[in-house]
C-alpha cells in the first residue's frame, strides 16, 4: 500500500513505498551541506534534496548525463567523494576533462543500454532532468539501480511542466510509479515547486529516491 501525505516543505505530494515511510520528515544526513554549500550549488534544488539522503559513509557518486557544467559532481567532489559522470556529446566530455572530472561516453537512447560499470559500483547514482528526453527511461532507471550500492536519485518534470520541445516523456504521479518504479519496494517520490513563479503556473518537478 502506498502512503500519500502533504509535504509542506516543498508544497507537493510525497508518495512512498512502505519501507520508506520512516524517512519522511528526517533531517539531512549530512547536516553541513545545507549550511555551507559552495556558491556554485547553493541554490540548486536537486543538490539540496539529494543532501537529505546522503550519508557520511558514502564515498562515490556517478552522475548520469552530467552535462558540461557538472554542478552535482562538483558538489560531490567538494564533499570528498570519488566522482564520475557520463555524457554523449564530445564537447561536454572535453569540458568535464578540463574541469578535472572523469566522464565516459554513454548513449542513453540505446535500446540495449548497459552502463559500463559493474553491479554495485557506486554508493550513489544520480540522473537529473534527463529521463524526460529519453526513449527508454525505464532501462536507465534499471541500470542505475544495478550499478548503485545504496541510492538512486532522479529528478524530472511532472506531466508537461515547462513545455520544452525536446521532452518526449510525460508522467503523472501514478504513471511514473507504474512505468518506472514498479518492482522497487523502497522508494520516495516527491513533487515539488522549485520557484514561486512555477507555483502560479502549476509547474512541478518529481524528486525521486530509490534505496537499496
Is 156:171 a contact under the CB 8 Å cutoff? yes
Q: How high is the pLDDT of residue 30?
A: 42
- Does position 33 have pLDDT exceeding 80, yes or no? no
> Which grid coordinates are listed for 121?
559500483
Percentage of residues in the chain having pLDDT higher than 70: 73
Q: How high is the pLDDT of residue 12?
A: 45
Which is more confident, 171 or 33? 171
- Does position 6 have pLDDT exceeding 70, yes or no? no
Q: How high is the pLDDT of residue 184?
A: 94
- Does position 63 have pLDDT exceeding 90, yes or no? yes
Summarize the confidence of residues 132-150 as an average pLDDT. Answer: 97
Is 22:198 a contact under the CB 8 Å cutoff? no
CA nearest to 37, candidates 80, 70, 66, 78: 78
**C-alpha dist (Å) from residue 52 to 24, 74, 131, 145, 174:** 10, 17, 22, 19, 24
Q: How high is the pLDDT of residue 172?
A: 86
CA nearest to 144, candidates 130, 154, 159, 157: 154
Q: How high is the pLDDT of residue 160?
A: 63
Sequence-separated (6 or more) residues with CB below 8 Å from residue 72 = 41, 44, 46, 47, 50, 61, 63, 66, 126, 128
- Does position 5 have pLDDT exceeding 70, yes or no? no
d(CA 84, CA 8): 34
The number of beta carbons lying within 10 Å of the beta carbon of residue 15 is 22
Q: How high is the pLDDT of residue 155?
A: 93
Summarize the confidence of residues 130-157 as an average pLDDT. Answer: 96
Summarize the confidence of residues 132-140 as an average pLDDT. Answer: 96
Q: What is the pLDDT of residues 80-134, one digit of tens each?
A: 999 999 999 999 999 999 999 999 999 999 999 999 999 999 999 999 999 999 9
Percentage of residues in the chain having pLDDT higher than 90: 51
- Does position 23 have pLDDT exceeding 60, yes or no? no
d(CA 3, CA 62): 30
- Does position 18 have pLDDT exceeding 90, yes or no? no
Amino acid at each position: 500500500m502506498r502512503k500519500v501525505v502533504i509535504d509542506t516543505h516543498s508544497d507537493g505530494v510525497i508518495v512512498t513505498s512502505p519501507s520508506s515511510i520512516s524517512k519522511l520528515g528526517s533531517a539531512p544526513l549530512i547536516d553541513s551541506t545545507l549550511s555551507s554549500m559552495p556558491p556554485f550549488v547553493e541554490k540548486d534544488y536537486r543538490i539540496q534534496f539529494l543532501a537529505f539522503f546522503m550519508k557520511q559513509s558514502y564515498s562515490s557518486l556517478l552522475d548520469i548525463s552530467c552535462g558540461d557544467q557538472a554542478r552535482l559532481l562538483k558538489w560531490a567532489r567538494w564533499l570528498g567523494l570519488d566522482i564520475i559522470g557520463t555524457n554523449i556529446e564530445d564537447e561536454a566530455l572535453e569540458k568535464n576533462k578540463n574541469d578535472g572530472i572523469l566522464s565516459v561516453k554513454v548513449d542513453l537512447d540505446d535500446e540495449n543500454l548497459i552502463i559500463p560499470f559493474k553491479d554495485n559500483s557506486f554508493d550513489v547514482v544520480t540522473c537529473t532532468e534527463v529521463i524526460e528526453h529519453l526513449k527508454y527511461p525505464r532501462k536507465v532507471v534499471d541500470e542505475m539501480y544495478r550499478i548503485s550500492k545504496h541510492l538512486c536519485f532522479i529528478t524530472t518534470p511532472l506531466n508537461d511542466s515547462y513545455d520544452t520541445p525536446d521532452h518526449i516523456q510525460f508522467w503523472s504521479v501514478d504513471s511514473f510509479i507504474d512505468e518506472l518504479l514498479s518492482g522497487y519496494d523502497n522508494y520516495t517520490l516527491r513533487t515539488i515547486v522549485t520557484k514561486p513563479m512555477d507555483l502560479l503556473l502549476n509547474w512541478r518537478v518529481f524528486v525521486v529516491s530509490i534505496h537499496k
